[in-house]
Amino acid sequence: MKVLDFPLIKINLFFVLGVIGSYYLKPSIPVATTALLVSIFALAFLYFSIKKNKHINLYFCISTYSTAFFIGATTLLFHTDSMQESNYIHCKTAFQKPQFITLTLREKLKSNEYNERYTALVKKVNNNVYSGKIILNIQKDSTQKKVIIGNTIRLKTILIPHNSPKNPNQFDYGKYLTDKQIYAQIYAEKAEIEINKTIQKDIWYYTALLHNRIIQNLEKKHFSPTEMNVALALILGQRQEISNEIIRDYQYSGATHILSVSGLHVGFIMAFIMFVLKPVPNNRKGSLLKLITILSSLITFAILSGLSPSVLRSVVMFSFLAIGNHLLRSKNSFHTLFVSMFLILLFEPYFLFDVGFQLSYLALFFILWLQPLLKKIWTPKNWVLTNLWNALTVSFAAQIGTLPLCLYYFHQFPGLFFVTNIIILPLLSFIMFTGIVVVLLAVFDANPAFLIWLFEKSIYFLNQTIHFVASFESFVIRNISFHFYYLIAFYLLIISTIISLKKPDYNKLTAFFVSIILLQIAFIFNQKEINQKHEFIVFNQKKKTILAERTGHKVIFITNEKLDERLQNYTINPYLTANSATVNSIKKLKNLLFFNGKKIYIMDSSGIYPKQIEPDILLLTQSPKINLERALQNLHPKIIIADASNNYSCLKYWKTTCLKKNIPFHATSEKGYYKCN
């Protein structure tokens, strides 16, 4: 099937390009709106002119695609909360000193060691009306004051903006939140929160109430907490209470996707409903009844799961597939898929930059495109083997389609993912179907004991199976360096390979070999770029001094600290992975270093320094008790660097002194890591 033969798919692609262009170029709303109006007028003019002159057909196509492009660009701008005057980001005083802030709790997030975390909607700052989503961190304590979804609370606090990563190549959590239209966080204690007695009873309040009712009724039946947390993730997408150990097992076994409600789960539900409705005849009334039942079931599931973005995306996607089947357009599944994508992005364009959205649509696209080809490899005659083979080819097609993106974002590959899917797919089908019944009955507290026992034991068996597979950690390939041009090159190779296998000809084989050459060029270019790098890094690590010198693929760490597991995972490995580097050696910290002809003097807690050394860079560590003005007069450094091993009072004094002497000052705790090329 020639996917791009559908005009709407081409329009959708240009719409997506418009969203991407607007995201990175950030044009103003007047500029984007003007461009859109011009393209609309041109489209209208060409539409009425094309009847008289067929030669302008090409210009009409160009005008159509440019209109789609600018619709995408303006859609993103109008859905960017920071561009709304009422958004709290424009209240500068709230970021500078404490203000009275009123907000309503929207959703409970996964708690951390110190805080209970929620997303909330800002209502007022002092007495002025503001809007926007924010993260609320409430310190854990023993007080009895409890908050629930729908509570309107008031507290005096300051808004904390997102910080950029303080070390090279770390995950940018601030950017992640900004893409979700969340621009700040609040930290508070329960004692300082005023809770309004009036509760905002919207759909999120009722879904949270429903979740609590389900949990309480399952607890009354003595459902094991460990298994119940996994059950809530599988059926309702609620991962807040799952332990980190279980999440790690699912990651290592290649089964993380089943803990996040997505297309897989919604697909199971749709398959279950279609199975139940199989006796209904496929005439006009029967087909309409099936469609209404499927859509009603999917909407009910979305509400049950709390209307999370991942569930809404999947429900919309499969609703359009169901409508396509009803209209006898199952052969045009690609068309249906892209229409659902277009409508979702029209209302939530920032979904395009969500990893879950990208993986969901890529997985479904490759299932529709590649799975029929894989299915033809073997045609089993046994009914059981046929269903198992279909399930495996679906899983394999989805994995091939999403693998480059997974490597790009997560930098690891669970080698036993295929084994995991073979083992758990039949069990997961049973768990999903049983779980839906258990959750629905739990709403009315009508679950029979044997059904609870059966559901609990099946999840226990699933967890044990996942844990067993995950125990073979040697099969988990971690810290895979995978750059953006690798991502593009691999997708070109995958697409050209599939096209060549479907209907091979000279041009398709040429495209296949060109994609191989492009992949090699990407590899050579990456190697050349890395080999030319020579840099010196001062990391930002609290109470520690960690330096690194990288030459090509080899890194020498200079530190007196032990590189423990946490330091490796969150600071060292991201840097090594992003630069395809390995640790060449670890050297003890010395007071004098040289890099690219520059002299670096490291002043430690002793505060001792040779007066005539005159370094290019003065690195202050371990809070040395010195008179910095006198040291500057003696040493004449070009720049002062202070790492995170120094205390705040010293940093404040040094910053003031450097400002007075007009010498650049870089504190890693404030500006992040320092890099010298």
CATH code at 166?
2.40.50
Return the residue matching tokens 């997708």: 491
Angle at 207 (CA atoms; ends 202, 212), nearest 5 degrees: 130
580, two tokens: 């395809």
CA distances from 170 to 112, 515, 568, 670 (A): 19, 31, 12, 16
pLDDT above 50: residue 1? no
159 and 255 in a single domain? The answer is no
Q: Is residue 241 part of a domain?
A: yes
Mean pLDDT over the full length of the chain: 86
- What DSSP character marks residue 384? H
- What DSSP character marks residue 571? I
What is the count of structural domains for the chain?
Answer: 5
d(CA 91, CA 95): 7
386 and 411 in a single domain? The answer is yes
pLDDT score, position 493? 94
- 165-189 pLDDT, tens per residue? 999 999 999 999 999 999 999 998 8
DSSP string of 389-412, one letter each residue:
HHHHHHHHHHHHHHHHHHHHHH--
359 and 325 in a single domain? The answer is yes
Q: Which domain holds residue 120?
A: 88-200
191 and 99 in a single domain? The answer is yes
pLDDT score, position 40? 92
- 420-446 pLDDT, tens per residue? 777 777 788 788 888 888 888 888 888
Q: Is residue 83 part of a domain?
A: no
257: closest CA among 389, 463, 399, 369? 399
- 502-555 pLDDT, tens per residue? 888 888 889 999 999 999 999 999 889 888 899 999 999 998 999 999 999 999
Burial 186-204 (b: 16+ CB within 10 A, else e): bebebeebebeeebbeeeb
336 and 282 in a single domain? The answer is yes
Q: Is residue 205 part of a domain?
A: no
265 and 368 in a single domain? The answer is yes
Domain closes at, from 153, 171, 200:
200
pLDDT above 70: residue 224? yes
DSSP string of 199-219, one letter each residue:
E--SHHHHHHHHHHHHHHHHH
DSSP string of 123-147, one letter each residue:
EEETTEE-B-EEEEEEE--S-----
pLDDT above 60: residue 138? yes
76-80, 216-220, 393-397, 462-466: range with highest mean pLDDT? 76-80
- Mean pLDDT computed over 580-602: 91
**For residue 641, what are the β-bridge partners?**
619, 666
pLDDT score, position 51? 65
Least reliable range by pLDDT among 48-52, 227-231, 442-446: 48-52
CA distances from 377 to 288, 370, 374, 446, 498 (A): 36, 12, 6, 47, 14
455 and 465 in a single domain? The answer is yes
95, two tokens: 């970021």
pLDDT score, position 92? 92
> Strands 546-551 and 534-538, how do they pair?
antiparallel
Angle at 347 (CA atoms; ends 343, 350), nearest 5 degrees: 105
504 and 550 in a single domain? The answer is no
Reported pTM: 0.87
pLDDT score, position 607? 87
d(CA 41, CA 47): 10
402 and 265 in a single domain? The answer is yes
d(CA 360, CA 321): 14
pLDDT score, position 2? 58
501 and 560 in a single domain? The answer is no
CATH code at 621?
3.60.15.10
